[in-house]
Amino acid sequence: MNLSNLLQPQAVKVLAHVTSKKRLFQDLAEIAHSAYGLNVAQTVDALQERESLGPTGVGHGVALPHARLHGLDKVVAVFLRLERPLDFDAVDRQPVDLVFALFAPEDSGVEHLKALALVSRTMRNAEVCTKLRANVDPAALHAVLTEAHGMQMA
């Protein structure tokens, strides 16, 4: 499996102005609803519940929010590029402008972890992040992510 299995083109967006983490989670949930039919309220609640365990801002302007959802049958993703970085309580205290969210079935053990590892490896790649920050076209962003050096999950 690779990122193209997780991330549909319609789940990649550029947002001009996000004012808070709560608003970001709402935006992620609405995009996940449009792309995959996820319940907006359930998705927001799951993201907030996971975030309460510890911030998912992993540093270098990247956040990897993730949640397990009832009724989902496979791991899916949403990617956002924020035009204005958002304070996200990241580990390095830097604001976030690249957000890669994962949503997994409630009972997906290894599959969820493999997907998270793949996304994490991809988003740690400085070249990939530079290309993402240089583009504002969702189709180009999707291409950068899904062609990220042929990275694949085992």
Positions marked catalytic:
66
| Tokens (6 digits) for 39 | 């319940």
Cα 98 from Cα 110, distance rounded (Å): 25
Burial 13-36 (b: 16+ CB within 10 A, else e): bebeebeebeebbbbbbbbbeebb
| CB neighbour class for 54 (10 Å; exposed up to 12, middle 13-18, buried from 19) | exposed
